């Protein structure tokens, strides 16, 4: 990896930006939010996490002229047939806040009547070296747990306060950030992505 490689991260989510910067900082990569370039979010019209990750990365690369990383991630709750899934960030509406999404999910889980239903976070990640890259580097990972309907913890963002992690007997929002970055769906996907990038660069 080249020192201080500038890469744009295709997100305006500050929580996600902090997580990604922490994950990539040891590798000497300078991660810049697309908002620093006044790049507006692109419509996520894909039908899968992978499709949406590629759409977002290509949009950011085209707008900035830099390599881009994007992830599309979400929460899938078994009892809700995989909802909210790819609609996790806009579950309660296009401009919904984290709190609104969380409240709606809690109501739906309560209505389903099964305590602590199984769930998983899933993350798909894409790296494009430029906007015309037709062979993006991809990775995916899942993080399994279950839902609790009383939010706990102040770390993290999104659905973290209700995602219970059995291995640590707490919610994702109660985990220290360094621990979450290591074991989460995004952390696992990033490790896989970096392995793929390292292998690809070694082939050139």
Q: Report residue 182 as tokens.
A: 């290591």
- From the centroid of its chain, how far is CA 46? 15
State whether the Cα torsion 55-56-61-67 is positive or negative: negative
Kindly provide the residue ranges of all beta strands, DSSP E only, lying in 34-178, ordered along the sequence: 68-77, 118-128, 137-147, 163-165, 170-171
Q: Is 21 left (phi over 0), alpha (psi -120 to 50) or beta?
A: alpha
C-alpha span between 171 and 149 (Å, rounded) = 11
Active-site residue, 72 included: yes
For residue 84, say if its preceding peptide bond is cis, omega within 30 degrees of 0.
yes
Q: Report residue 39 as tokens.
A: 């790049």
Q: Which of 38, 72, 98, 203 is catalytic?
A: 72
The catalytic site residues sit at 72
């Amino acid at each position: 990896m080249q020192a201080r490689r500038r890469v744009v991260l295709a997100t305006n989510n500050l929580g996600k930006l902090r997580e990604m910067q922490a994950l990539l900082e040891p590798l000497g990569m300078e991660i810049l939010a697309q908002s620093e370039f006044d790049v507006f979010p692109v419509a996520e019209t894909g039908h899968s996490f992978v499709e949406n990750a590629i759409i977002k990365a290509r949009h950011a690369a085209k707008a900035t002229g830099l390599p881009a990383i994007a992830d599309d991630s979400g929460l899938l709750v078994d009892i809700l047939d995989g909802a909210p899934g790819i609609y996790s960030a806009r579950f309660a509406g296009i401009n919904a806040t984290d709190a609104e999404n969380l409240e709606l999910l809690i109501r739906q889980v309560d209505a389903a009547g099964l305590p602590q239903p199984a769930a998983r976070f899933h993350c798909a990640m894409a790296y494009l070296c430029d906007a015309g890259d037709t062979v993006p580097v991809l990775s995916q990972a899942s993080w399994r747990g279950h839902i609790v309907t009383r939010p706990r913890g102040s770390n993290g963002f999104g659905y973290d306060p209700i995602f219970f992690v059995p291995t640590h007997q707490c919610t994702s929002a109660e985990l220290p950030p360094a621990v979450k970055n290591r074991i989460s769906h995004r952390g696992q996907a990033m490790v896989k992505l970096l392995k793929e990038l390292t292998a690809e660069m070694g082939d050139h």
